[in-house]
Amino acid sequence: SSRLRGKNVLITGASSGIGEACARHFAQAGSNLLLAARRKDRLEKLKKDLESQHSQIKVSTFELDVRNRAKVQATAATFGDVDVLVNNAGLVIGLEKLEDITEEAMDTMIDTNVKGLVHVTQAVLPGMRARDRGHIINIGSVAGQQAYGNGSIYCGSKAAVASISKALLFETIDTAIRISEINPGMVETEFSMVRFKGDKSKADSVYKGVHPLDGNDIAETVVFVAGRPEHVNIAEMLVFPTNQAAATTVYRKP
């Protein structure tokens, strides 16, 4: 949509998967990009790629761990006006019963998916409020709506994202700021490689026999949501592959 041309879009977790695909799709729409993730080398490569394909846009990269609140605040001070924030950085560690989840795995998920999203939002929302414009798009998950066994902390972290998104709708009701939550089902990214600590056969088995979504499928919905007229807010969206009906119910071709 031409509405996104020249807009400044901040994407967290832009080094891979959904976030990287969002960067490509917003670039296509003519937006300037602020790309954040821990793996700066990947962001630099992406920036080169995007700038060679789209001469009119500006791309900035930020090595940023969203868990580090002070670093998020300091980095955000250099962002300039953010028109659209895509809170996408997130991860899952393991697939275990609650009593077997390590403190480290629990902290990593909650610190990234919940506290990290809050850190970035706290750094960006005051500016949006002062300008009375802006759009925050949170990447939740079907897992935040339907808990599944061996997913307690991840599902809980995404349920928190849903609650935070809904609370923000109230807190910005008297402003022009939009808050949207996009909840993907199964998307083939590096998500399962991270979940299973690089075990490729375990990661591949998640997608066996299904045609999952890919990052582009979610990026298209994110750009669509961001591109609506200013008086339109798509508050919530659930996006499944065609052969998925619930968090853990997918049809696999035999």
Binding site for ligand 8X3 (CB under 6 A): 92, 141-143, 151, 186, 247
For residues 99 and 104, what is the distance between their CA atoms, to the nearest angstrom? 13
- Exposed e or buried b per residue across 17-30, where buried means at least 16 C-beta atoms within 10 angstroms of its C-beta: bbbbbbbbbbbebb
* Binding residue for ligand NDP, selected from 7, 8, 10, 19, defined by CB under 6 A: 19
Mode of pairing for the β-strands spanning 84-87 and 187-188: unpaired
Residues 151-170 that bind ligand NDP (CB under 6 A): none
Residue type, 161: V
Q: Which of 7, 45, 148, 158 is catalytic?
A: 158
* First-residue to last-residue Cα distance in the chain: 40
Count of CB atoms within 10 A of residue 230's CB? 10
Residue with tokens 């490729």: 200
Q: Which of 71, 154, 200, 202 is catalytic?
A: 154
154 a catalytic residue = yes
207 a catalytic residue = no
* Binding residue for ligand NDP, selected from 86, 114, 116, 225, defined by CB under 6 A: 116
- Taking the CA atoms of residue 7, residue 12, residue 18 and residue 23 in that order, the dihedral angle to the nearest 10 degrees is 30
Residues 84-103 that bind ligand NDP (CB under 6 A): 88-91
**Residue 11 CB, nearest approach to ligand 8X3 (Å):** 18
Nearer to ligand NDP, 18 or 164 (CB): 18
Q: Which does 247 bind (CB under 5 to 8 A by kind): ligand 8X3, ligand NDP, none?
A: ligand 8X3
Strand residue runs (E) in the chain: 8-12, 32-37, 59-63, 84-87, 135-139, 178-184, 187-188, 213-214, 236-239, 244-246, 249-250
Residues 29-68 that bind ligand NDP (CB under 6 A): 37-39, 64-67
Binding site for ligand NDP (CB under 6 A): 12-13, 15-19, 37-39, 64-67, 88-91, 112, 116, 139, 141, 184, 186-187, 189-191, 194, 215
Catalytic residue IDs:
154, 158
